[in-house]
Amino acid sequence: MSQELATRYPLVLVPGMLGFVRLLLYPYWYGIIPALRRGGAQVFAVQVSSLNSSEVRGEQLLARIQQILDSTGASRVNLIGHSQGALTARYAAAKRPDWVASVTSVAGPNHGSELADYLQRYSPAQSLRGRLLSALLRGIAALMSLMETGYRGPRLPVDVHASHQSLTTEGVALFNRQYPQGLPETWGGQGAPEVNGVRYYSWSGILQPGKTDRGFNLLDGSNRSCRLFARTFVREAGQCDGMVGRYSSHLGQVIGDDYPLDHFDIVNQSLGLVGKGAEPIRLFLEQARRLKAAGL
């Protein structure tokens, strides 16, 4: 087996909101984990609460990291978080920098999501629309829990309101005041590449007419959802992946922020049906090479 991607520390993949390890036979990180393992990487996909605050999810992640360190004999891990998984990973790194070698944010709402802000304005928690949305999300989370075959741990708590608040601009601003590691000092800039011995990286995509709405995305309903969600963006109108803005995603060393990828394409969803010319798996392989070259 090739050792090209054999990083010093294990790779731990952290899913976003409504994330999972595997639903029946279907993985969240579609095609990504096998590609990394073929290159010699040691990879763990973890499960945290599908709907909850970034802090609660972060504590769950810390418990899982401890298990991984104990089982592998490794002294640290490299965290790669998608969407809210990036905030979850940032929390864990801030709390236990001695356990974490790096944090990579993949389309992470590191300054909040304008979609979450829109839902807060037009579907507040106590309104009829808000209650219906909350019930729908709880139902989806319950169904996903029944279908989950990649996680065999205790039942994880669900809190729809805490999950939503954790993704709003206001909610993330509060989070950032407590856990600022790797954040840019100026909007659209890059953050400190290393804080407390932890390396920080990020990449993200944007909807690009003629690319993200072409190729196999013509068959992917999630892309149409992202194009619809993108209409809620004001500050980063035309500069978002449907759920997270281009500059809101910045953390540490920004590898790229304008890949032709929507919010689901970036983790090779759904079923690898991505836009024209998009290569999301390549980005993960390149990051593993980058981490290995940095001695991580």
Query: What is each CA distance from 35 to 81, 281, 284, in whole angstroms?
Result: 17, 8, 9
CA 50 to chain centroid:
12
Catalytic pick from 163, 263, 265, 270? 263
- Residue 13 near residue 65, CB atoms below 8 Å: no
Fill in the amino acid letter for 229.
F
Q: Which tokens hold the place of 147?
A: 């279908």
Active-site residue, 117 included? no
Active site residue 263: yes
Residue 81 contacts residue 28 (beta carbons within 8 Å):
no
**CA separation for the pair 194, 253 (Å, rounded):** 9
Active-site residue (options: 49, 50, 83, 113): 83
SS3 99: coil
Please name every residue paired with 100 in a beta bridge, in sequence order, or none if there are none: 77
Residue of 213, 241, 262, 265 marked catalytic:
241
Quick check: helix, strand or coil at residue 253?
strand
Q: What is the helix (H) or strand (E) element at residue 221, kind and residue range?
A: helix 221-229
241 is catalytic: yes
Task: Tell me the C-alpha distance between 208 and 220, whole Å.
Answer: 15
Other CB atoms closer than 10 Å to residue 91's CB: what's the count?
25
Burial environment of residue 294 by CB neighbours within 10 A (0 to 12, 13 to 18, 19 or more): middle
Active site residues: 83, 241, 263
